[in-house]
Structure 1
Amino acid sequence: MTARHRGPAAFAATLGVTGLLGLTAVPALAHGSMQTPASRSFTCRQKNPESPESAACKAAVALGGTQALYDWHEVNIADAAGRHRRLIPDGQLCSAGRAKYKGLDLARADWPATRLTGGARHEFRYKATAPHKGTFELYVTRSGYDPAKPLRWADLETSPFLTVKDPTLVNGSYTFTGTLPQGRSGRHLIYAIWQRSDSPEAFYSCSDIDFTGGEGGGTGAAPAPQPQPPSGPAAPARPTPVCPAPAEHSHSASAAPVVELDSTPASGASPAPDAGTSLKTLLTHVGTGLLLGAAATALLIRRPRRRDG
C-alpha cells in the first residue's frame, strides 16, 4: 500500500485509539463514610467546604484545604488488608495516615457532635457511594477520653462494640442496628473501619459523639434529623495519592454545644460526586469510544482501494 493509501487507514486507526483512550478517562468511583452518626468529613462537606460554619471545619480547611472535604468518601488505605493498627500512626486515625486528610486529625473539643444515649439501640447508616462486600467494625473511645488530645489507638476500646458483615443497603446507605456502649457520658468518638472482602482496601471515619445518660439501657432519645449526602457534579478532582501524613497537629479549644445537622447543603457549596453521577460519566465515555471506533471502521470499509502500477 502506498503512502497516499495509508492516509485514511492511519486516520481511522487514530480515531480508534482515541476512542479507546476515552474509555479509560473515567473518574474513579467514590466509596463512603459514616452518615449517622455523621463523620467529620461528611459533616464538614455538608456545611460548605468553601466557607465552613463550624470553627473545627474551618480549621480543617485551613490545614488541609477544601479538596479533602469534596472527597469526604475516600479516607482509605488501598492495601490495608486488616493491618489497620500497623499502618496508621497514633494521632492520625481520622485521616488514616494520609496527609491529604490531616485536617480531620485536629485535636479539639468543638467538632460538631451527634447526641446519643448510652446503652440505647441505635440505627447506624454508612453512606456507600460505591457499594462493596465487607465488614464494618465500630469502636468507641474509653472512659476518660480527652478530645483536646490527638486520638491514639490506646484511646479506643480493644474490641469493637459492633461488628457487621455485609449489612443491608438501603437507599444508598448500609443500614444496621446495634446497642450503644454504656458507662460513657459527655464527649466521645466512634471510630468506624470498613474492610472490604473483595479487596484489601479499607475505609475509616471518626464520628464525634455527645453521650447523655442512659447507662441503665432504655430506648434513647428521639433521633435528630439526619444529614443527607450532597449530590450532583463533583468539584474538579485533584490527585489523591496514598501517602504518610506529616507530624501530628494538636489544637485545643473550648467545648462547644452539640450541633444538630440539617439535610440541606449550604448555599454555594459544590456538590460531591455520587455513584449515579459516576455511572453517567462512565456511560458517556463508553458511548464516545464506541462511536469513534464505529466511524473508523466505516471509513476503512467504504474507502475504495486502488492498485498501484
Structure 2
Amino acid sequence: MPARPSARRRVTVLAGALAGLALSGTLGTGTAAAHGSMQNPLSRVEGCYLEGPEHPKSAACKAAIALGGTQAMYDWNGVRIGDANGRHQQLIPDGKLCSANSPGFAGLDLPRADWPATSLKAGSDFTFRYRATAPHRGTFRLYVTNGTYNPSEPLKWSNLQSTPFLTVTDPKLVDGQYVLPGKVPAGLKGRQLIYAIWQRSDSPEAFYSCSDVVFDGSGAAPGTAAVPTAGSGVQHTHEAAPGSAGAPAAVPAAAPAAATASPATSPAGAPGGTGNTAPGTPADGAASSPAAVPAGAQLAQTGTDRSTGLIAAVGTAFVLSGTAMAVLRRRNRRRAHAR
C-alpha cells in the first residue's frame, strides 16, 4: 500500500498547482472588451442593440436579427477586422461594408430604406461621438455616401465619397465616448449613410460602423439614443502588431489636442486614404505619424501585454506559495504544542 504524502508535500503541491493556474491564465491568449461603435449619429448595430435583441422594435432590426441572430447585436461593439492594417477595401468586398465581411453581422448589410436614421443638417457644425468600451490610439475617418447611393441596394465602396469628410487622430475621450468635432458636408439631401473606420495605430485592428442619416427631418433627433453601459459587448482576442506584443507606445509629457484634418485627394471610389495615399496600404491609419498621440494622454493601451501579465502572475504565485507555507507552519506549531 503506497505511503500517504506528508502534509508539507501536500501543501507544496497545492501551492504549485494554484501558482500554475495563475500563470497559465495570464500567459494564455489575452482578451479585452471589444471596442465600440458610432454613437451619434447612431450606428445600425448599436441601434438594434438598444432596441433590444430579443424584441426589436423596427422592421429593419427585426430583419437583421432574423438573418444573423441576436448575438451580433449583443456584440454591438465588435464589428472589426483584427489584422486590417489599413487594408479596408482589400478585405471588405462590396455589399459587406456594414458587417466588415463578418458572417455574424450579415444582417447589418441588408439593403433597406427603413433603417432607423438620425436627422442631420447639411453644412452644419456637428459633434460626432463614438462610443468606446476599450479606448486605443488611432485615427477615425468618416465618409458619407455620394450621388450613386441607393439605400435599397447593397452598399458599395464606390457609393462613398472618395475622401473622408472628417479625419481625427487620437480624439478626446469624454464619458466613454470619443468626441469628434466637425462639420456635416454641404449639399446632402434625403437618406444617406455615414461610414466610420477606426484604425488603431497601436495594432493592425480596425473597427467599422454604418450610421443611417436623413436630411429631411424625418429621423430621430441627434444625441437622443441611450448610451450602452460600459463593458457591454463581446469579448475577443487582440491581434498585436507583429513584433510589438501589444507594447505601449511612449506618451510625451505634453500631448497636443485632437487634430482634425481636411480631406485630401485620393483615388475615386477608394475611401481610406489620407493625402495621396491610396487605401488598402499600411500607411492608412498606421503609427508612422509622430503627431498621433492621445489628447491629455488619456487613451489606454489595452492590447495584450504579456510582460505585465507575467509580473502579476509571478506575484500571485509567490502570494499563494507564502500562504500555503504559513498554513503549514501553523499546523506544525499546533502539533508541537500538542506533544
What is the TM-score normalised by the length of structure 2?
Answer: 0.67
Structure 1 pair 45/224, CA: closer, same or farther in 2 (3 Å)? same
Query: How big is the shift at 1:229?
Result: 2.1
Structural mapping, 1:141-290, within 5 Å: 141-212=145-216, 224-231=222-229, 234=232
Query: How big is the shift at 1:225?
Result: 4.2
Between 1:161-170 and 1:21-30, the stretch displaced more is 21-30
SS in 2 for 1:8: helix
| 1:86-123 CA-partner distances (Å, limit 9, x unpaired) | 01010000000111111111111100000111111111
Structure 1 pair 43/117, CA: closer, same or farther in 2 (3 Å)? same
Structure 2 gap segments, 5+ residues each: 240-301, 303-310, 333-339
Moved over 4 A (4+): 21-27, 232-235, 237-242, 286-293
Structure 1 gap segments, 5+ residues each: 214-220, 243-277, 279-285
Root-mean-square deviation (CA, aligned residues, Å) is: 3.2
Structural mapping, 1:123-142, within 5 Å: 123-142=127-146
Mapped to 2, the partners of 1:109 and 1:289 lie a distance apart of 56
Query: How big is the shift at 1:178?
Result: 1.4
Mapped to 2, the partners of 1:106 and 1:204 lie a distance apart of 16
Q: What residue number does 2:33 align with?
A: 29
Pair 1:16 & 2:19 matched:
yes
Mapped to 1, the partners of 2:225 and 2:85 lie a distance apart of 31
What is the TM-score normalised by the length of structure 1?
Answer: 0.73
Structure 1 pair 167/222, CA: closer, same or farther in 2 (3 Å)? same
Identity across matched positions, percent: 50
Between 1:64-73 and 1:3-12, the stretch displaced more is 3-12
Mapped to 2, the partners of 1:45 and 1:22 lie a distance apart of 31
Q: What residue number does 2:252 align with?
A: none
Structure 1 pair 302/50, CA: closer, same or farther in 2 (3 Å)? closer
Contact 2:40–2:223 (CA under 8 A) maintained in structure 1 = no
Query: How big is the shift at 1:21?
Result: 4.2
Mapped to 2, the partners of 1:224 and 1:112 lie a distance apart of 12
Mapped to 2, the partners of 1:192 and 1:115 lie a distance apart of 17
Structure 1 pair 97/25, CA: closer, same or farther in 2 (3 Å)? closer
Pair 1:65 & 2:69 matched:
yes
Between 1:18-27 and 1:201-210, the stretch displaced more is 18-27
Query: How big is the shift at 1:168?
Result: 1.2
SS in 2 for 1:28: strand
Q: What is the letter of the counterpart of residue 96 of structure 1?
A: A
